[in-house]
Structure 1
């Protein structure tokens, strides 16, 4: 991701833990979530992630992915957004005038258990992106069979697909085929 802030890189990786095209989910279990968080240095190896933490994470991810897939003028699914908002309420964050214990003005509440502190760090990354307006540069691929999240580095922020060579070409080929089929149907003689 060119020039993407660390918060965008983290949220992109989080959103892409589910792969629509392959039908896989890195966070399909509490253990999978623990591994993913540990690989990113957000949770020490050996710390447990409970079923409640796992469910909270999935609600947060669903809401984030939904927001990233909304085009201008559209609205997110209110149930997914509400679920993510409920999850965020369970992840208290402290605001510091200066640098907090985690190095920023925002930090997870110190009394949170380790897994919740890691999830609160995801909430902070999302907050940073939305407050700076950079969340608009993270998008979900418009190709419905893909839905991969990507950083839009284009000048006018108009990129729609994660890859023009793959997803963009699929969409354009479908449009062309539909247009050709429509033209053929219109030119066919009436019986």
Structure 2
């Protein structure tokens, strides 16, 4: 099973933060503007205010938190929920996008609401069970779990999974 376009959008937005490389594509308002345009969420590169930038970062943090496997931090989720209250979604009869951003929102907020809509769709359909964040502290990459029983834990068993196995082995065999 391949990821839906909603899952692809959520994964792409979550992975604008690369913990392992220490990079953040949204580190400044211009980065958010560029990313929204590159992902065709706005017809042209929008003017992103500091408030919009803050909304985007808070939304991403909440999104990454909800996709994590470890205990979720409630304050991060509450902060993202506060952002979602500013990004109203409207019900639609369109089966491809049953939740759509309020068309009266400014372009950047409408684009962020589109991301929120994609996440809501994943939560409603249960597809969110296949979108996971790697539990490795030095990774956190968000990936699509294509296993039949949705049991994949690591973004890469060869890298993150292997590192954890080595740590566990070393801890168990210390004198």
Question: Please, what TM-score do these two structures have when normalized by structure 2?
Answer: 0.95
Cα drift, residue 180 of structure 1: 1.7
Name the residue aligned to 1:88: 84
Q: Does 1:18 align with 2:17?
A: yes
Name the residue aligned to 1:148: 141
Cα drift, residue 107 of structure 1: 1.3
> Aligned partners of 2:170, 2:52: CA distance in 1, in Å?
46
Are 1:21 and 1:146, in contact at CA under 8 Å, matched by a contact in 2?
Answer: yes
Name the residue aligned to 1:139: 132
> Aligned partners of 1:92, 1:31: CA distance in 2, in Å?
24
Equivalent residues in 2 for 1:1-191, closer than 5 Å: 3-71=2-70, 74=71, 76-96=72-92, 98-99=93-94, 104-181=97-174, 185=175
- Segments of structure 2 that go 5 or more residues without pairing to the other structure are none
The one-character-per-residue Cα deviations of 1:16-64 (angstroms, maximum 9, x if unpaired) are: 0001111110000110000000001111334201111110111111011
> Aligned partners of 2:53, 2:88: CA distance in 1, in Å?
17
Are 2:69 and 2:135, in contact at CA under 8 Å, matched by a contact in 1?
Answer: no
> Aligned partners of 2:103, 2:66: CA distance in 1, in Å?
28
> Aligned partners of 1:14, 1:87: CA distance in 2, in Å?
16
Question: Please, what TM-score do these two structures have when normalized by structure 1?
Answer: 0.87
- Segments of structure 1 that go 5 or more residues without pairing to the other structure are 186-191
The one-character-per-residue Cα deviations of 1:73-132 (angstroms, maximum 9, x if unpaired) are: x4x211100011000000011112x239xx633211111001111001001000000001
Instruction: Extract structure 1 runs of 4+ deviating beyond 4 A.
Output: none
Cα RMSD, aligned residues only? 1.4
